[in-house]
Amino acid sequence: MTFSSNLKKITQNRLALAGGLIVLALFFVSWLAPVLSPHEPDSLSVARRLKPPGTPGHPLGTDSVGRDVLSRLIWGSQVSLKVGFVAVGLATFIGLFLGSIAGYKGGLTDSLIMRFCDLMLCFPSMFLILAVIAILEPSIWNVMVVIGLTSWMGVARLVRAEFLSLMTRDFVLAARAQGASAFRIIWRHLMPNAMGPVLVTATLGVAGAILTESALSFLGLGVQPPTPTWGGMLTEGKDHLTRAWWLSLFPGLAILITVLSYNLLGEGLWEAFNPHRETRRN
């Protein structure tokens, strides 16, 4: 299937299209945060603390120290998208590298890489992340690196499986017969044909990374204050849940909508790149 036909399939899927548009909107919101934010995210004022939604100048209310909730939501989107894209980018790079070597070389190399992958999968990823973050100083870069280093296994297994399937195709056999190098076969013939499922996995991985970062921030092990994060806003809101419900509701909705949008987009990409998608109706 060509790129244009896959794109047409995605646009015909209303849920995937809606998810993609929300993802695109979130990207522009985070990029234009200095312009869209009505207030500075760390601007304090005791006089306007715990103002409810609808207050003039504060459409989503204020928190316990008078900071504007809408402004902090907008700036918090930057942290979530940074963590999502950088962590998934690192995980995808590692997965592509190890998976391609395992799938192309086979034999002992394949066995060693896959056993290491199985070993990593034996550890619960969240507990492994918590252990590493507890040792290191909590920061946005440590969070991104740790999430990336603990989430590459699925990409590696997927790339390996795609390579094993593609290695028997005629165009790969023809390239080998012509004396093409391993590097050329991998990057010119195998990798482009394996990128469809990888793109789907990466899209879903962004949602998982954002959810993980929010959980770490909620536990106080993620990005540290005063940097606004959605998980950190949830932590601040739980102490005022009965009298300031908006402090937990709006960041919770932001996480829900973002994760759901990426999942819907990933589902649409899967249907577009899955060659057997039409057989479901038969």
Query: Which residue's structure tokens are 């050329």?
Result: 184
Report the alpha-carbon distance of residue 129 to residue 177 in Å, rounded. Answer: 46
For 87-128, write each residue's pLDDT tens digit: 999 999 999 999 999 988 888 999 999 999 998 888 777 888
pLDDT for 43: 84
What is the average pLDDT across 193-200?
A: 84
Which one is predicted more confidently, 12 or 200? 200
pLDDT digits (tens, 9 = 90+) for 225-251: 788 889 888 888 888 888 889 999 999
Give per-residue pLDDT as tens, 148-184.
988 899 999 999 988 888 888 888 888 888 877 878 8
Structure tokens at 153: 């296994």
Helix ranges, 138-245 (H) = 140-149, 153-166, 170-177, 182-184, 191-218, 230-238
- Tens digit of pLDDT for each residue in 48-91? 888 899 888 899 999 888 899 999 999 999 988 888 899 999 99
- pLDDT at site 6: 63
Residues across the chain? 282
Contact residues for 247 (Cβ-Cβ < 8 A; gap 6+): 61, 63, 64, 69, 233, 236, 237, 240, 241
- Range 198-213 average pLDDT: 89
CATH of span 3-34+70-277: 1.10.3720.10
Q: What is the mean pLDDT of the chain?
A: 85
Least confident among 118-122, 135-139, 147-151, 211-215: 135-139
Q: Say what the pLDDT of residue 251 is.
A: 93
Q: What percent of the chain has pLDDT over 90?
A: 28
Over range 23-29, report the average pLDDT.
Answer: 92
Give the model's pLDDT for residue 177.
84
List the chain domain ranges. 3-34+70-277
What pLDDT, on the 0 to 100 scale, is given for residue 114? 92
Helix, strand, or coil (residue 58):
strand
Q: Which residue has the higher pLDDT, 247 or 281?
A: 247
